[in-house]
Amino acid sequence: MQDTLKHKGLRNKLAEIVADQGITDTKVLEAIKNVPRHLFLDSSFEAHAYQDKAFPIGAEQTISQPYTVAFQTQLLAVKPQDKILEIGTGSGYQTAVLLGLGATVYTIERQQELFKKTKLFFGRMGYRPKKVIFGDGYKGLPNEAPFQGIIVTAGAPLVPKPLLAQLAIGGRLVIPVGQTEQVMTLFIRKSEKEFEKKEFGNFRFVPLLENKN
Ligand code: SAH
- Tell me the CA–centroid distance for residue 207 and ligand 1, in Å: 8
List strand residue ranges (DSSP E) for 68-194, in order.
Answer: 83-87, 104-109, 131-134, 147-152, 167-177, 182-189
* Per-residue model confidence (pLDDT) at position 56: 86
* Per-residue model confidence (pLDDT) at position 213: 47
* Per-residue model confidence (pLDDT) at position 43: 78
Distances (CA, A) of 168 to 99, 146, 150, 164, 174: 19, 5, 10, 9, 14
The one-digit pLDDT tens for each residue of the chain (213 residues) are: 689 999 999 999 999 999 999 999 999 999 999 999 999 998 778 888 999 998 888 888 888 999 999 999 999 999 999 999 999 999 999 999 999 999 999 999 999 999 999 999 999 999 999 999 999 999 999 999 999 999 999 999 999 999 999 999 999 999 999 999 999 999 999 999 999 999 999 999 999 998 654
Does residue 94 line the site of ligand 1, with CB under 6 A?
A: yes
Work out which ligand 1 atom sits closest to the CA atom of 69.
Answer: 7
Catalogue the active-site residues: 64
* Per-residue model confidence (pLDDT) at position 10: 94
> Buried b / exposed e across 34-70, counting CB within 10 Å, b at 16+?
ebbbbbbbeeeeeeebbeeebbebeeebbbbbbbbbb
- Tell me the CA–centroid distance for residue 29 and ligand 1, in Å: 23
Does residue 208 line the site of ligand 1, with CB under 6 A?
A: yes
Distance CA 175, CA 154 (A): 8
H helix or E strand, kind and range, residue 52: none
Task: State the Cα torsion 59-3-99-76 to the nearest 10°.
Answer: -70
Task: Read off the pTM.
Answer: 0.96
* Per-residue model confidence (pLDDT) at position 26: 97
* Per-residue model confidence (pLDDT) at position 130: 98
CATH of domain 5-203: 3.40.50.150
The answer to whether the bond into 160 is cis (omega within 30° of 0) is no
Does residue 63 line the site of ligand 1, with CB under 6 A?
A: yes
Does residue 153 line the site of ligand 1, with CB under 6 A?
A: yes
* Per-residue model confidence (pLDDT) at position 58: 83
Distance CA 131, CA 129 (A): 5
- Tell me the CA–centroid distance for residue 5 and ligand 1, in Å: 30
| Residues pairing with 184 in the sheet | 176, 200
**Domain spans in the chain, listed from the N-terminal domain onward:** 5-203
